[in-house]
C-alpha cells in the first residue's frame, strides 16, 4: 500500500457533502422496522469489535457516511457466503464496510475500493493497516465514473455505496464486471424514506437524489440479468445476483 502525503484539507465538494451528512444525521432515522423488533434482533447480533467501533465513531464525528451495524453485518455474511477472491467497492469512506468485506475474502483475495476524496482515502488506508488488511486492499482515489473503466473483471462481489446520482448510470458496467452468480449489493435503497411519497414530513435529501434511487431500484427489479431482493435493513439494502444464463436462461 502507498503511504499518503495528504494533509487534513478536504475538497470543497467533500466538505459540503460532510455538512449535508451531518445535517441529515441530526434528523431521526425513520423506523422501517418496528423498534421492538429491531432491538430484539440487535441483541442477537455481536457488537462491533474495537476497531470497527472506532471507525464508526470517527466516521460519525467527521460526517463521513458509514454503514449501519446491521447493514454491515449483512454485507459481511453475504461476502462470506460468496467466498470471494475479488471484490470491488464504490465508496470507501473511512473503511468501515471495506474492513467487513476484506475480512471475508478468500485466502488469496483482494479488495479494490474507490474513494473520491484523498483525505478520506488516507484515513481508510490507516484503518486497513491497523486491521492487518493492508496487503489485501487497494484503495483507488478518484471518481468512480472513471475508475470503473480502469478495472478488469470478473469480480465475485461488488458493493455500490457511492454517489446516488451515479447508481443507475454505472449499473450496466457493474453487471458486466460481475462473474455469473456474482453478487451486487447496493446501499441506501430507502434513502431515509425519501423514496416513499409522504413518508417524511420533510425530505432528508434533495428530490433529485431520491428520484435517482427510485429509478435505480426499478432498474434492479426489472433487469433480466439479475435476481434481486430488497431488504429494510439499515437505510435499505438491495442484494442482486447475476444470472448464470448457461444454467438459468432468462
* DSSP codes of every residue in 125-168: HHHHHHTT-GGGEEEEES-HHHHTTTS---EEEEEE-S-GGGHH
In a domain, 247, yes or no: no
The pLDDT of residue 227:
98
In a domain, 248, yes or no: no
Q: How many domains does the chain have?
A: 1
Measured between alpha carbons, how far is 24 from 205 in angstroms, rounded to an integer?
8
pLDDT band at 1 (very low <50, low <70, confident <90, very high): very low
Containing domain of residue 25, as a range? Answer: 12-242
User: Average per-residue pLDDT in the chain?
Assistant: 88
In a domain, 159, yes or no: yes
Tens of pLDDT along 33-88?
888 988 898 899 888 899 999 999 999 999 999 999 999 999 999 999 999 999 99
The pLDDT of residue 20:
45
In a domain, 113, yes or no: yes
In a domain, 7, yes or no: no
The pLDDT of residue 247:
67
The pLDDT of residue 46:
87
Tens of pLDDT along 12-22?
454 445 444 44
Q: Which three cell numbers stand for residue 160?
A: 455500490
Neighbours of 213 (CB within 10 A): 22
Contact 157, 191 (CB under 8 A): no
Cα–Cα separations (whole angstroms), residue 165 to 4, 72, 82, 107, 211: 29, 22, 28, 35, 9
Measured between alpha carbons, how far is 178 from 143 in angstroms, rounded to an integer?
20
The pLDDT of residue 16:
46
In a domain, 249, yes or no: no
CA 250 to chain centre: 28
Cβ-proximal residues to 26 (8 Å cutoff; 6+ apart), any chain: none
Bridge partner list, 186 = 160, 238
Report the candidate in 118, 116, 115 with the shortest Cα–Cα distance to residue 96.
Answer: 115
Tens of pLDDT along 146-190?
999 999 999 999 999 999 999 999 999 999 999 999 999 999 999
Contact 105, 133 (CB under 8 A): no
- % of the chain at pLDDT higher than 90: 76
DSSP per-residue codes, 21-32 = HHHHHTSPPP-S
Measured between alpha carbons, how far is 126 from 135 in angstroms, rounded to an integer?
12
The pLDDT of residue 201:
87
**Any idea which residue has 435499505 for its cell?**
236
Average pLDDT estimate for 131-137: 97
Q: Which three cell numbers stand for residue 52?
A: 470497527
pLDDT band at 248 (very low <50, low <70, confident <90, very high): low
The pLDDT of residue 45:
86
The pLDDT of residue 23:
41
Measured between alpha carbons, how far is 80 from 73 in angstroms, rounded to an integer?
11
Q: Which three cell numbers stand for residue 41?
A: 434482533
In a domain, 250, yes or no: no
Report the candidate in 92, 141, 133 with the shortest Cα–Cα distance to residue 110.
Answer: 133
CATH of the domain at 48: 3.40.50.150
The pLDDT of residue 29:
55
The pLDDT of residue 35:
86
Cβ-proximal residues to 150 (8 Å cutoff; 6+ apart), any chain: 140
In a domain, 145, yes or no: yes
The pLDDT of residue 42:
85
Average pLDDT estimate for 122-127: 98
Q: What is the pTM of this model?
A: 0.86
Amino acid at each position: 500500500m502507498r503511504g499518503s502525503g495528504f494533509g487534513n484539507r478536504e475538497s470543497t465538494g467533500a466538505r459540503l457533502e460532510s455538512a449535508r451528512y451531518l445535517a441529515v444525521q441530526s434528523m431521526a432515522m425513520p423506523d422501517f422496522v418496528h423498534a421492538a423488533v429491531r432491538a430484539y434482533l440487535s441483541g442477537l447480533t455481536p457488537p462491533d469489535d474495537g476497531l470497527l467501533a472506532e471507525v464508526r465513531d470517527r466516521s460519525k464525528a467527521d460526517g463521513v457516511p458509514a454503514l449501519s451495524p446491521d447493514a454491515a453485518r449483512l454485507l459481511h455474511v453475504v461476502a462470506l457466503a460468496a467466498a470471494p477472491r475479488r471484490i470491488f467497492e464504490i465508496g470507501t469512506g473511512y473503511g468501515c464496510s471495506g474492513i467487513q468485506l476484506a475480512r471475508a475474502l478468500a485466502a488469496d483475495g483482494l479488495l479494490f475500493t474507490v474513494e473520491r476524496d484523498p483525505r478520506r482515502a488516507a484515513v481508510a488506508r490507516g484503518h486497513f493497516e491497523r486491521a492487518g488488511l493492508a496487503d489485501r486492499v487497494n484503495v483507488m482515489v478518484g471518481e468512480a465514473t472513471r475508475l470503473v473503466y480502469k478495472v478488469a473483471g470478473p469480480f465475485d462481489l461488488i458493493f455500490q455505496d457511492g454517489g446516488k446520482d451515479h447508481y443507475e448510470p454505472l449499473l450496466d458496467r457493474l453487471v458486466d464486471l460481475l462473474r455469473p452468480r456474482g453478487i451486487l449489493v447496493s446501499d441506501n435503497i430507502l434513502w431515509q424514506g425519501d423514496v416513499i411519497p409522504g413518508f417524511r414530513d420533510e425530505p432528508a435529501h434533495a428530490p433529485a437524489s431520491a428520484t435517482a434511487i427510485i429509478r435505480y431500484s426499478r432498474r434492479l427489479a426489472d433487469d433480466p440479468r439479475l435476481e434481486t431482493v430488497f431488504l429494510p435493513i439499515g437505510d435499505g439494502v438491495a442484494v442482486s445476483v447475476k444470472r448464470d444464463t448457461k444454467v438459468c436462461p432468462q
